[in-house]
């Protein structure tokens, strides 16, 4: 009779641990928290490098000149008497078609798309640290796949960048001896390496960590589901045991 009483006990009345008031629940594991932090770092590093005009350093008319894909610092203009003078300021090109080469135009689009994708995933990962049930194990893996694609796009942009070194504007800055994959008197800047390093970290480290970022379904929620499904059987058993 004792055995039947255990089965007849209504499972909906089982105590469920109460959450402490004021506590913030996360949908990420400890590895997932590390993944969210690294995702934010790589996304910010790549995106900042994308906007800064320090991918390529050279000189023109005795003044230092630097480029990114769609911006440059210090450029020549016609002064009085048709002489060239250097304007020492940084800015973007007036239009997309004004970018010196087709390779740099492609690099601008591809790298920008990759940075946007990394920023989107990083934002969702940071929100997952503060919101419960936002990122599951499968969702984290899908976000890791998106990071791999974003890093691949940025890496493709970095690979396309040297194809534009043969444009007249770049050759004037690099001693008129530069060519595709040949810098001449110019040198690569820190922003180029930072963008490539951020892309590599997103593809290799963040993608791997994302496989362990999300939490599995909670045991309490699973127990509640089982309780609801077995409630009808418990009531029928209780009815059979009555005299």
Say what the pLDDT of residue 37 is. Answer: 96
Say what the pLDDT of residue 1 is. Answer: 41
Say what the pLDDT of residue 83 is. Answer: 80
The answer to whether residue 77 sits within a structural domain is no
Assign 63 to helix, strand or coil.
strand
Sequence length of the chain is 243
The answer to whether residue 89 sits within a structural domain is no
The answer to whether residue 190 sits within a structural domain is yes
Long-range interactions of 122-128: CB distance < 8 A, separation 24+: 122/36, 122/39, 122/40, 122/42, 122/43, 122/44, 125/28, 125/32, 125/35, 125/36, 125/39, 125/40, 125/213, 126/36, 126/39, 126/40, 128/26, 128/27, 128/28, 128/32, 128/36, 128/213, 128/214
The answer to whether residue 1 sits within a structural domain is no
The answer to whether residue 43 sits within a structural domain is yes
- The Cα–Cα gap between 135 and 9 comes to 35
Residue ranges in the chain modelled with pLDDT below 50: 1-19, 21-23, 220-223, 225, 233, 237
Nearest to 92, CA basis, from 76, 68, 115:
68
The answer to whether residue 206 sits within a structural domain is yes
The answer to whether residue 36 sits within a structural domain is yes
What pTM did the predictor assign? 0.78
Partners of 64 in the beta sheet?
Answer: 59
- Positive or negative, the CA dihedral 198, 199, 200, 203 is positive
> Tokens standing for 140?
């984290």
Buried-exposed string 106-145: b where 16+ CB fall within 10 A, e elsewhere = bbbebbbbbbebbbebbebbbebbeeeebbbbebbbebbe
**Longest CA span, the chain:** 115
Domain count, the chain: 1
> Could you list the residue range(s) of the whole structural domain that residue 150 is in?
30-53+100-215
The answer to whether residue 9 sits within a structural domain is no
């Amino acid at each position: 009779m004792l055995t039947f009483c255990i089965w007849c006990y209504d499972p909906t009345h089982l105590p469920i641990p109460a959450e402490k008031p004021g506590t913030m629940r996360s949908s990420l594991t400890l590895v997932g928290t590390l993944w969210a932090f690294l995702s934010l770092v790589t996304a910010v590093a790549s995106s900042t490098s994308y906007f800064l005009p320090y991918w390529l350093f050279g000189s023109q008319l005795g003044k230092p000149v630097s480029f990114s894909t769609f911006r440059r610092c210090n450029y020549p203009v016609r002064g009085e008497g048709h002489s060239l003078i250097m304007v020492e300021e940084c800015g973007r090109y007036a239009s997309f078609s004004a970018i010196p080469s087709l390779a740099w135009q492609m690099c601008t689009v591809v790298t920008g798309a990759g940075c946007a994708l990394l920023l989107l995933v990083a934002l969702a990962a940071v929100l997952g640290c503060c919101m419960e049930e936002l990122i599951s194990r499968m969702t984290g893996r899908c976000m890791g796949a998106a990071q791999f694609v974003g890093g691949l796009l940025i890496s493709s942009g970095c690979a396309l960048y040297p194809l534009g070194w043969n444009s007249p504007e770049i050759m004037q800055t690099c001693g008129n001896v530069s060519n595709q994959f040949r810098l001449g008197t110019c040198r690569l800047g820190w922003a180029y390496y930072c963008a490539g390093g951020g892309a590599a970290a997103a593809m290799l480290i963040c993608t791997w960590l994302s496989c362990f970022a999300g939490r599995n379904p909670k045991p309490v929620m699973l127990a509640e589901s089982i309780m609801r499904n077995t409630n009808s059987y418990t009531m029928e058993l209780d009815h059979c045991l009555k005299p």
